[in-house]
Amino acid sequence: MKQTTTDIQNNNGVRPENPIDGGPMLKMKELVKATGLSKATILYYINVGLLPKPVKTNPNVAFYPASYVETLGFIKQLQTKHRLSLSQIKGILKQKSKGREVTPLIELNEVVFGKEEEISYDHKSFSAASGLDKKSLDLALKLNLLNPKSKNRFDSEDVAVGRMLKRSLELGLKLEDLEYYPRLASKIVDHEMDVRRGIIRNKSFEEILSVTLELTSIARSFRGYVIDRIFQEKVSQQQLNGEKPVPSKEAGNLSTELGE
């Protein structure tokens, strides 16, 4: 017998209909037992949009589609095995809900973003690990010399760059001297994305993922190659022109210090 609105509102023992997939509905304690996840974790996933809102029969009672069990297992797998962030997982779930094969999308996310690390640093622990003081850290963030993947959280790659920036400061460089790196990189990436849009036009979802995966790999290799070769070419040209690597006065001082 089809339940009425009164049945749902009064919570008289009849479980509400599943508005999502028509399957059975579970109480929270049943969902916790089936998934091994805590109530707080499940509610958090719902609040950030990884799962649809439950059906509430009254302010204190809610029912959840049994299909949540499979979805929560998939989320757990993406977090533990593939180390994907919740924002990445949300995009994958959206495509999965459309019936699309998401394995290539998972692979693409790993290639583009890397795996989410278990250890992350806040501002204080990042400064301790990298050696950058708060003033330098704030400036590096403002100039996009540091660009963490998660807001206010840093990973080991950020720490490595932070240490490099600290060493640059010790050598006499100013962080402002390095601002051209993110500025020019942004222009390069914008152009790469324009080129990609032209290539993937009229392609299927699966073809777009495949092409994007290959283009990402090509772009990463090509960027490093082009910059290094241009640098080598410039240095060779300086040598041919008889240019000294440092100004003559500084070179003389250096020679004196070395006892030459």
> Tens digits of per-residue pLDDT, 203-250?
888 888 889 889 998 999 999 999 999 999 999 988 888 776 655 444
The CA distance from 199 to 193, in Å, is: 10
More confident residue, 102 or 159: 159
150: β partners: 153
Say yes or no to pLDDT of 136 above 60.
Answer: yes
The CA distance from 256 to 218, in Å, is: 47
The CA distance from 149 to 121, in Å, is: 12
pLDDT of 256: 46
Greatest pairwise CA separation for the chain in angstroms: 100
Does the reported pTM lie above 0.85?
no
The CA distance from 159 to 40, in Å, is: 31
pLDDT of 244: 66
Candidates 192, 230, 227, 228; CA nearest to 211 is: 192
The CA distance from 136 to 216, in Å, is: 32
Query: What secondary structure letter does DSSP report for 154?
Result: B
